[in-house]
Structure 1
Amino acid sequence: MKVYDHKHIKNIVLLGSAKSGKTTLCESMVFEAGITNRRGTVEEKNTLSDYHEIEHERGNSVYATSMHAEWKGYKINIIDTPGLDDFVGEIVSSLRVADTCVMLINSQYAVEVGTELIWEHIEKLQKPTLLAINQIDHPKSNFDKAFTAAKARFGEAVVLMQYPVNQGEGFNTIIDLLKMTMYKFPPEGGKPEKLPIPPEEREKAEALHNELVEKAAENDEALMELYFEKGNLEEDEMRKGLKIGMMKHDVFPVFCLSGKRNMGSGRLMGFIDNVAPGSMEMHPEETQDGKTIECTPQKPVSLFVFKTLIEPYLGKLSFFKVCSGSIEVGKDLLNAQTQITERINQLFIMDGNQRKPVNKLTAGDIGATIKLKSTSTNHTLHAPGFEVKFKEMEFPDPKIRTAIVAESKNDDEKLGEAAKELQEEDQTLHIEYSKELKQLILTGQGELHLAVTKWRLEHVYNLHIHYEKPRIPYRETIQTQASEIYRHKKQSGGAGQFAEVHMTILPYQKDMDTPTGFNIRGKDEIDLPWGGKLIFYNCIVGGVIDARFMPSILKGVMEKMEEGPITGSYARDIVVLVHDGKMHPVDSNDISFKIAGMQAFKRAFLNAKPKIMEPLYNLEVLVPEELTGEIMTDLQTRRAMIMGIDSRKNYQVINAKVPLAELDNYSTSLKSLTQGRASFKLQFAEYTPVPNEIQRTLEANAEAVEA
C-alpha cells in the first residue's frame, strides 16, 4: 500500500443520530474510492464497518470503526461512529484524532437530540465541521426544514454548499454553489453528469452563491479586499476562505446527498481533499505539561493511542494516530505512562475487520498494531529521548448502574478478568466491587450500554450472569450530643480482658468551635475515605487510660463507622471525645479498649438522634419543548427538587436534584416517555437526610435482615 505524506492525509469522523445513515454513507465512500467492489447494506449485514456480531443482531453501530479511502491523490481516513448516546465513549475517542467532523442530519427529522449531544463534544474541541443532510431520496425528506433547523441551532456559520433540485423518491439532481454546476446522477448513483444550471434555478443559485462568496471572504482580510475589488472570488479563493473559516469554527458548509443511492458522496470527498484541513494545518497536539507538538515528519516519532479493541483469537488491537515523525515496523517506543518499552512488530491500516499490513506510517496518519503488552487507551508512545505525554481524553461520567452477579461462584474469577478487558476497551464502562454495598457494581451510559455488556459477557466470554438492583450507599450521622459509658470485662482463665471507656459524641459542622468543658490533650482530624469527617479528641487526665490505648479506642470507633449502627452504612461527620475510663494493670490490652471504644460509640450513636443520609444527584434532562410537562410530572414522583429550566433553541434543559434511590430505571422511563427524543446527565451532588417515613422503612428492613 502506498505511504502518503503528511500533506496528503485527511482524517474525518462521521457523526450523527442513530439512523442518520453514517454506515451507509461509508459504504458509498469506500466503494467510490475503489476500496470495495460492491456496496454492502445494514439490512444484509455485510457492511465494512458494522461487522461485529452484536451490531448485526441489533442493526446499528456499537463500535467506532476505522477505514480509509484513496481519492485523487489523498488518503482519507474515515471513522464511522455509533449514533446512540449509550456509546458516547466511541464518539469521544474518534473526535480526538479527527481533523474534520462530518455531521449527518436526517432530512426527515432535522436536528435531533442525538445531534445536540454530539455537538457539545464538537464545540468543546472546536473541530472543523461540515454538515451533510442525508436521505434526500426519502419520501418524507424536507431539506429546507433540516437546513433551517441547522441554522437555528448552529448559527450563521451554517452556509449552503449545495441544494437538491428534486428531493424525494425521484431525487437525482443537486446544484453545487461552489462550482456553480448542476450534477445529475444516473439511477444507480455514482459519477454524475455535469450540466449547466437551468434558467428556472439560476436566480436562486446565484443568490446562494453570493452568500457563499461573502462567507468565504469574511474569514480573511486579503480575501475581503479582493472581494470588494472584484465583486466576486475565484473558486480557489473561495476554497481558501472556507478552509480558514472552518478552522476558526466560523463556517459550517452544508452538503446534500443520498448515501443509500450513492448520490453526492464523491462530491463530498472532493471537498474533503480540496478544502477540509489536515493534521499539519490543525492546532498542534497538546501535552499534559502545556507544551505543543507540531504534526511534522521532521520530529522524532510519537503516537497517541485513542482506542483499544480486544478481538477473539487475535488479542489486543491498539489504534493510534501518528502525532509526529514516522513509525516503521520493528521500532522500539517508550510508553510515557508506564515507562515500559514496546516493540512495534506489525503495522496495519484497518478497513473494518480487514487488516492491511504496511511498513511505515507518517505524521497525521491513523493506524493500528497488535499485542502491545502495557499500552492502553489514552497512552502515549514516543521515541527514546523524545519525552512527551499527550493530553488525555476526558470521558463522560456514568449515568446508570446495576449489580452484576455470576450465576456460578466458580465464574467469579473469570468475571473479574472479563471485566478488566471490557474496561480497557470502553472507558465509559466501570466494573468495581463495592466493599460498602457488598456487590459488584457495573456503571455505564444507559440501558442499552449495559445490555450490550451483558451480551458480550455471555457470548464472547461464555459467562452466565444476571443483573440485580444495586443497593444505595446511604450514610449515617447524628443530630445531637450523647454520652455513654461502656465496660468490657471478660475472664476465662489466665489473663482476662478489661477496659472502661467514657465517651461523648456530637455532630460535626464545618468551622465549628472546639468543644468546651473537656480537658483536651490531643486531636485527630480524619477525612473519611467515604466522605465527611471524624474528629477524635483525647481528653484523658490523670492517666486513667494509658495513652498507648487511645489508638485502639479510635480503631474501634472507625470499625463501627465503617458499618454504621442503624443500617450498616458508613457513618460520617461526628466528633468523639474520650474523657474518662478505667484500666487494669494486668487485664487491659489493645483488644479490650478497641471493643470498649466500639460499643461506647455504638450506644452513644443510637442515643444521639441518628439520621440516615441519602446521595442526591444533579440531573440535567435535555428534552423537546413539547414534552417538558411529562418529564416534570415524572420527576415529581421521584422526589425531585426542580432547580430551574433553561432554553436551548428548540429544547428545554431541566435541572433538578434527585435522590439516587429514585433514579432506578430512569433511563428506560425517559426513553418511554419521549420515544427516545430526550437525554440526561447525572453528577453526584451531596448527601441529604432522608424523609422520616423512609428512615423508618430502612430501619425496619435492617432489623429484619439482622433477625
Structure 2
Amino acid sequence: MVTNTSNLRNVVLLGHAGSGKTTLAETMLFEGGEIKRRGTVQAHNTVSDNTDIEHEREATLFSHQLLVHWRENKINVIDTPGADDFVGEVVGSLKVADTALIVLNAAGGVEVGTELVWEYVERFKTPAVFVVNQMDHPKADFESTLQQAQQRFGPKVLPVQYPLNSGQEFNQIVDALRMVLYEFPAEGGKPFKKEIPESELPKAKAYHNALVEIAAENEEGLMERYFEEGTLSEEDLAKGLTIALAHQQFFPVFVASGWKDMGTGRIMGFLNDIGPSPADRPSRILTDGTALGCSSEDKTTLYIYKTTSEPQVGMLSYFKVLAGTVKPGDELVNAQNGEVERIAQLFVARGKERLPVEKLQAGDLGVTVKLKSAHTNNTLNAKGVQREIRPMEYPESTIRKAIFTNNAADTEKLFAALNKIKEEDPTVALSIDQETREAILGGQGQMHLDLVKQRLQKEFGIEMEMKNPRISYRETITSKASAEYRHKKQSGGAGQFGEIHMVVENYYEGMPDPQGYSIRQKEIEDLPWGGTLAFYWCIVGGAIDNRYIGAIKKGIMTQMKNGPLTGSPCQNIRVIVFDGKMHSVDSNDISFQLAASGAFREAFEKAHPQLLEPIYHLDILCPDESTGDVMGDLQTRRAMITGMDTEGHYQKIMADVPLAELNDYGSNLRSITGGKAKFSMKFSSYQLVPANVQQQLVAKYTDLTLHE
C-alpha cells in the first residue's frame, strides 16, 4: 500500500536505559494490530530487540525500524538504545524522524540518558512528546517527574494527561485535552471513558486552558474565537496544536504503562491526529545552503541514515525518501562519489522482517539491499539532480584501547572486520598511532567496545585483545645549557670529522632573539607532532660552511623525534649553533649530522629536561548527590577542577585531567553514580609531568632500553 506524505508519521523512541521503550514499542504494534501477541524483553521475542546479542544482554543495542498502521495513517517507529555508549544509533534515527517520543521512567524521573538525547533533539529541532512510562511501578511519581522535565526542558513542557492513581494499582488517566477520564480494565487495552471527578476538575481545566491558549496562538482567527467563545472545538485545537508541536512551541506530556498496555492507544491517536507529517516539517538546508522541501512531486532524493550487514544477504541500507518517489529498478546517483546505484529491491521494515513494496513516497522510511558503494550519511539523487544532505556529526570517542590479536595471521582479518563494523557504527574509531605504532580502537564507553569485541568473536570468528594504549608524551627543557661535541672517525680511506658548539633553551612564542650572537640565519619551524623548533645559525669566520646547515638540522631533528628521556618527541626548544670546526677532507654531511645529534643530546640532558603529558578537558554531568564522589574520584586522578555549574537538575563539573589517568574512567563514573552521569572529553594541551611520575616513566624506559 502506497502511503501519501501527509499520512506519514516518523517517530523515534528515545530515553534512558530501562525507561521501557522496547516494551512500549511492542505495545504500539499490538494496539495497531501489527502483531497478535506481545513479546517481552525477558522472553527474547520482541519485534524490536531481535539480535542474538540483544537477547543475551536483554537490552536494546541497535536502532530498529518498525511500522504500525493507525486509522488512515502509517506510523514509522524507530526504537533506539538507551545507553549513551550507543548514541550513534540515536543520532542517525533522529536525523530522519519528524517526532521524538521521549520515554521517562516514572520512578527514575529525568535521567542522564534523557539529558544526552535532548541535546540532539534541540540540535535537529525535532518536535518532542514526553511519555511518563511505568506508572505501575511501586515508586512511580508523576508530579516529581513532570517537575524535573519542566525544570530541565523549560515551561513548554505541558501535561496533556496525568494519572489519577499510580503504583501497582494504576489504571486511571485524566486527559486534560479531551476532558475525560480513562479507566482501564485489569488486563489493559481499550479503556472505559468516564467523567472527570469533580475534585479533579479545577486541575484538569487549568491544564486544558493552557493547551487551548497554545493552540490559539498558532492559528489565525483562533485567538479571537477563543476570546469570544471561551474555548475551542476539538478540530480547532488539533489545528493549533499541530502547528505548535511542529515548531517546538510546546512539548506535550502523556502517561502510560507499556507493560500493562494502558495509555498507549491514546498516544498513538495523538500522533495520528496532531503529530506532524514529514510535509509539516521545515525544509532541509543542504550543504550548498539551498532548501529541500518534502514533496512527492519533486525529483527523487534519498538519505541513508543506517547500514547493517546480514549473512547471506549482505549490506542493508536504511533510508528516508526526502523528495520524490522511489521504486524497484530506479537508478540513483550517489552525491558523495558519483556512483550510480540501482534500487533492485525495496522494502519497509518491521524489525528483522522486511516487507516488499512497489513504491515509497517522500517522507517514508525504507530499506534496500546490496548497494555497491553507498554508505551511512550518503545522499542518492535522481540523475541530473545535485543535492547533498548535511552529514551527521557524531561525538568524539570517550574511551581508547590498543588492540591486537595473539595470532599475527589474524591481524589483516581483524582490520577488515573492524572496518565492516565501523561502516555500521560510525562512532567506532579505528586508527594507528603514528608515534607508538599501536592500533587504537575508540568508542563511546567500555560497553561499546565490549560489544565490538563480542561481535568480532561471534560474527567473524576473531579473538581480539585490548589493553590501555601507550601515552604519547612530549619532552622539553626548563633551563639553558651548552655543549661541545666532536665526531671523529678514522678508518681506511677518508675519515669523518665534525665539531659543533651549541646552546639550547626553552622556547616560547614571541621570545626575543638571543643576545651576544651574530645571527646569520633564523628559522622558526612548527613541528609535525606539535610545538616549535627555533633554529639559529650564528657561525662566523667560516668555522663551519653554510652547506652543512641542512645536515646539522637533520641531526637535531633526529634526536628530537626520539628524545633522550623516554624516546618521546621534543618540542618548544631554541637551538643556537655558534661555533665549531670542520676538516677540509674528512668533513661531510654525515659527520655534522652525527655531531649535531650528539651535541643536542648532551645539552638537552644538562638543561633540566622535563616530560610533558597530554591533558584532556572533561565536562561531567552528574546528580547533585553524586558530586562529592565524582570530585573525590577526580582528585585521585591528578585532576585540576576548573569550574562548576548547574545544567537542569544536574551538576556540571569541568576539569583538566591527564590522559594517563583516564583509563576506564567511563566505567568507573558509571559505577560511582549508578549510571546517572555522563561526560565528554577533548584534548586541551601538554603540561608538565610531576617529578615522581617522571622518575617512574624514565626508569621504565631505561629498563626497556637496556633489555632490548
Q: TM-score, normalised by structure 2?
A: 0.95
Pair 1:59 & 2:58 matched = yes
Q: Alignment partner of 2:48: what SS?
A: coil
Pair 1:695 & 2:687 matched = no
Q: Alignment partner of 2:27: what SS?
A: helix
**1:672 paired residue number:** 671
- 1:323-472 map, 5 Å: 323-472=322-471
1:370 CA drift (Å): 2.1
1:330 CA drift (Å): 2.2
Tell which deviates more after alignment, 199-208 or 526-535: 199-208
In 1, distance between residues paired with 2:586 and 2:303?
64
Decide whether aligned partners of structure 1 residues 590 and 314 sit closer, same or farther in structure 2, where only a CA change above 3 A counts. Answer: farther
In 1, distance between residues paired with 2:549 and 2:625?
63
Tell which deviates more after alignment, 570-579 or 605-614: 570-579
1:124 CA drift (Å): 2.3
1:598 CA drift (Å): 2.7
Q: Alignment partner of 2:460: what SS?
A: coil
1:227 CA drift (Å): 1.3
Q: Which amino acid aligns with 1:147?
A: L
1:406 CA drift (Å): 0.8
Pair 1:247 & 2:246 matched = yes
In 2, distance between residues paired with 1:389 and 1:521?
54
Decide whether aligned partners of structure 1 residues 514 and 117 sit closer, same or farther in structure 2, where only a CA change above 3 A counts. Answer: same
Decide whether aligned partners of structure 1 residues 636 and 67 sit closer, same or farther in structure 2, where only a CA change above 3 A counts. Answer: same
Q: Which amino acid aligns with 2:257?
A: S
In 2, distance between residues paired with 1:297 and 1:558?
62
Decide whether aligned partners of structure 1 residues 614 and 68 sit closer, same or farther in structure 2, where only a CA change above 3 A counts. Answer: same
1:129 CA drift (Å): 0.5
1:11 CA drift (Å): 0.9
**1:38 paired residue number:** 37
Stretches of structure 2 that go unaligned for 5 or more consecutive residues are none
In 2, distance between residues paired with 1:605 and 1:146?
62
Q: Which amino acid aligns with 2:336?
A: Q
Tell which deviates more after alignment, 684-693 or 570-579: 570-579
**1:482 paired residue number:** 481
Q: Which amino acid aligns with 2:84?
A: D
Q: Alignment partner of 2:145: what SS?
A: helix
**1:317 paired residue number:** 316
**1:178 paired residue number:** 177
In 1, distance between residues paired with 2:195 and 2:266?
17
Decide whether aligned partners of structure 1 residues 351 and 541 sit closer, same or farther in structure 2, where only a CA change above 3 A counts. Answer: farther
**2:472 paired residue number:** 473
Pair 1:573 & 2:580 matched = no
Pair 1:616 & 2:601 matched = no
Q: Alignment partner of 1:658: what SS?
A: strand
Decide whether aligned partners of structure 1 residues 257 and 704 sit closer, same or farther in structure 2, where only a CA change above 3 A counts. Answer: same
Decide whether aligned partners of structure 1 residues 594 and 412 sit closer, same or farther in structure 2, where only a CA change above 3 A counts. Answer: farther
Residue by residue over 1:17-61, the C-alpha shift from the partner in whole angstroms, topping out at 9 and shown as x without a partner, is 111010011111122222222211100001111111111111111
Q: Which amino acid aligns with 2:324?
A: G
In 1, distance between residues paired with 2:372 and 2:519?
55
Decide whether aligned partners of structure 1 residues 547 and 39 sit closer, same or farther in structure 2, where only a CA change above 3 A counts. Answer: farther
1:14 CA drift (Å): 0.4
Q: Alignment partner of 1:131: what SS?
A: strand
**1:126 paired residue number:** 125
In 2, distance between residues paired with 1:259 and 1:533?
61
Decide whether aligned partners of structure 1 residues 10 and 505 sit closer, same or farther in structure 2, where only a CA change above 3 A counts. Answer: same
In 2, distance between residues paired with 1:497 and 1:362?
79
Pair 1:682 & 2:681 matched = yes
1:546 CA drift (Å): 4.8
**2:626 paired residue number:** 627
Pair 1:25 & 2:24 matched = yes
**1:108 paired residue number:** 107
Q: How many residues align?
A: 706
Residue by residue over 1:159-191, the C-alpha shift from the partner in whole angstroms, topping out at 9 and shown as x without a partner, is 111222332223333232222233333333333
Decide whether aligned partners of structure 1 residues 527 and 262 sit closer, same or farther in structure 2, where only a CA change above 3 A counts. Answer: same
In 1, distance between residues paired with 2:341 and 2:490?
63
**2:524 paired residue number:** 525
Q: Which amino acid aligns with 2:158?
A: V
1:297 CA drift (Å): 2.0
Residue by residue over 1:357-405, the C-alpha shift from the partner in whole angstroms, topping out at 9 and shown as x without a partner, is 2232221112222222322222222223221221111111111222212
Decide whether aligned partners of structure 1 residues 509 and 15 sit closer, same or farther in structure 2, where only a CA change above 3 A counts. Answer: same
1:119 CA drift (Å): 1.5
In 2, distance between residues paired with 1:382 and 1:63?
27
1:85 CA drift (Å): 0.9
- 1:94-105 map, 5 Å: 94-105=93-104
Tell which deviates more after alignment, 512-521 or 47-56: 512-521
Q: Which amino acid aligns with 2:483?
A: E
Q: Which amino acid aligns with 2:101?
A: V
Q: Alignment partner of 1:570: what SS?
A: coil
Decide whether aligned partners of structure 1 residues 23 and 301 sit closer, same or farther in structure 2, where only a CA change above 3 A counts. Answer: same
**1:144 paired residue number:** 143
In 2, distance between residues paired with 1:685 and 1:622?
19
In 2, distance between residues paired with 1:283 and 1:550?
63
Tell which deviates more after alignment, 356-365 or 252-261: 356-365
**1:654 paired residue number:** 653
**1:75 paired residue number:** 74
- 1:129-278 map, 5 Å: 129-220=128-219, 222-278=221-277
In 1, distance between residues paired with 2:566 and 2:112?
41
**2:47 paired residue number:** 48
Q: Which amino acid aligns with 1:13?
A: V
Decide whether aligned partners of structure 1 residues 604 and 21 sit closer, same or farther in structure 2, where only a CA change above 3 A counts. Answer: same
1:313 CA drift (Å): 3.1
Decide whether aligned partners of structure 1 residues 487 and 57 sit closer, same or farther in structure 2, where only a CA change above 3 A counts. Answer: same
In 1, distance between residues paired with 2:296 and 2:692?
68
1:333 CA drift (Å): 2.2
1:495 CA drift (Å): 4.7
1:465 CA drift (Å): 2.0
- 1:271-290 map, 5 Å: 271-290=270-289
1:494 CA drift (Å): 4.3
In 2, distance between residues paired with 1:421 and 1:516?
59
Q: Alignment partner of 1:182: what SS?
A: strand
Residue by residue over 1:439-473, the C-alpha shift from the partner in whole angstroms, topping out at 9 and shown as x without a partner, is 22222111211211221122222111222122211
In 2, distance between residues paired with 1:701 and 1:682?
28
In 2, distance between residues paired with 1:63 and 1:607?
57
Tell which deviates more after alignment, 28-37 or 62-71: 28-37
In 2, distance between residues paired with 1:19 and 1:370?
32
Q: Which amino acid aligns with 1:513?
A: P
Decide whether aligned partners of structure 1 residues 470 and 233 sit closer, same or farther in structure 2, where only a CA change above 3 A counts. Answer: same
1:590 CA drift (Å): 4.1
- 1:475-554 map, 5 Å: 475-541=474-540, 545-554=544-553
Decide whether aligned partners of structure 1 residues 519 and 648 sit closer, same or farther in structure 2, where only a CA change above 3 A counts. Answer: same
- 1:589-600 map, 5 Å: 589-600=588-599
In 2, distance between residues paired with 1:368 and 1:665?
37
1:346 CA drift (Å): 2.1
- 1:10-21 map, 5 Å: 10-21=9-20
Residue by residue over 1:398-429, the C-alpha shift from the partner in whole angstroms, topping out at 9 and shown as x without a partner, is 11222212121111111111221222222222
Decide whether aligned partners of structure 1 residues 555 and 336 sit closer, same or farther in structure 2, where only a CA change above 3 A counts. Answer: farther
1:222 CA drift (Å): 3.2
Residue by residue over 1:457-503, the C-alpha shift from the partner in whole angstroms, topping out at 9 and shown as x without a partner, is 22222111222122211111112233333333444444544444443
Q: Alignment partner of 2:685: what SS?
A: strand
Decide whether aligned partners of structure 1 residues 409 and 196 sit closer, same or farther in structure 2, where only a CA change above 3 A counts. Answer: same
Q: TM-score, normalised by structure 1?
A: 0.95
- What's the Cα RMSD here? 2.1
In 2, distance between residues paired with 1:606 and 1:296?
70
In 2, distance between residues paired with 1:583 and 1:311?
69
Q: Alignment partner of 1:41: what SS?
A: coil
1:583 CA drift (Å): 4.5
Q: Alignment partner of 1:297: what SS?
A: coil
